[in-house]
Amino acid sequence: MRCPHCGTIEDRVVESRSLANGDVVRRRRECVSCNYRFTSYERIDEGLFMVVKRDGRREPFDAHKLERGVSRALEKRPFSQLQIENLVNEIEDETAIISKGSREISSSVIGDLLLKRLSVLDKVAYIRFASVYKHFMDLDEFIKEINKVGQETE
């Protein structure tokens, strides 16, 4: 694997860890040349599936886009990058299972899966993600969603 710091291709694996129910292997690597440490991920490539957007467009599923959304929702919350990666991997696995037959999945299904996970994980992150995902048009819709989340915790 090419070192992101110096570009040398020789490295050694320092640590390996299984993630997402064994579907992903996280490896810590160290460059033999400059001793820079970096992380790589290994997963089975089952081929791309398409995400059907609200307007009918189709685009390839992008786990990095999902991770950016999750990271924004969990920004300044007490969650590590590893926890975020695990959450993204779980959602990616679930969407792959759901889309198996048609090789397509609606963006709303992905959003709903993420909202369900966030509502259990962190209420603030849930509201942050819901405010973007549900396209609140005014303050009343936002307040209704906050009240709904508040009632679920009681």
pLDDT, one tens digit per residue, over 46-96 is 667 889 999 999 999 898 999 999 999 999 999 998 899 889 988 988 888
List of long-range contacts for 4-7, beta carbons under 8 Å, 24+ apart: 4/36, 4/38, 5/31, 5/34, 5/36, 5/38, 6/31, 6/33, 6/34, 6/36
Mean pLDDT of 23-31: 90
pLDDT value of residue 36: 96
pLDDT value of residue 45: 67
pLDDT value of residue 46: 62
Can you read off the two tokens belonging to residue 137?
Answer: 């048009």
Tell me the range of 50-54, 96-100, 145-149 where mean pLDDT is highest. 50-54
pLDDT value of residue 19: 78
Predicted structure pTM score? 0.67
What pLDDT band is residue 118 in, cutting at 50, 70 and 90? very high
pLDDT value of residue 93: 84
pLDDT value of residue 18: 86
Distance separating alpha carbons of residues 143 and 149, to the nearest angstrom:
10
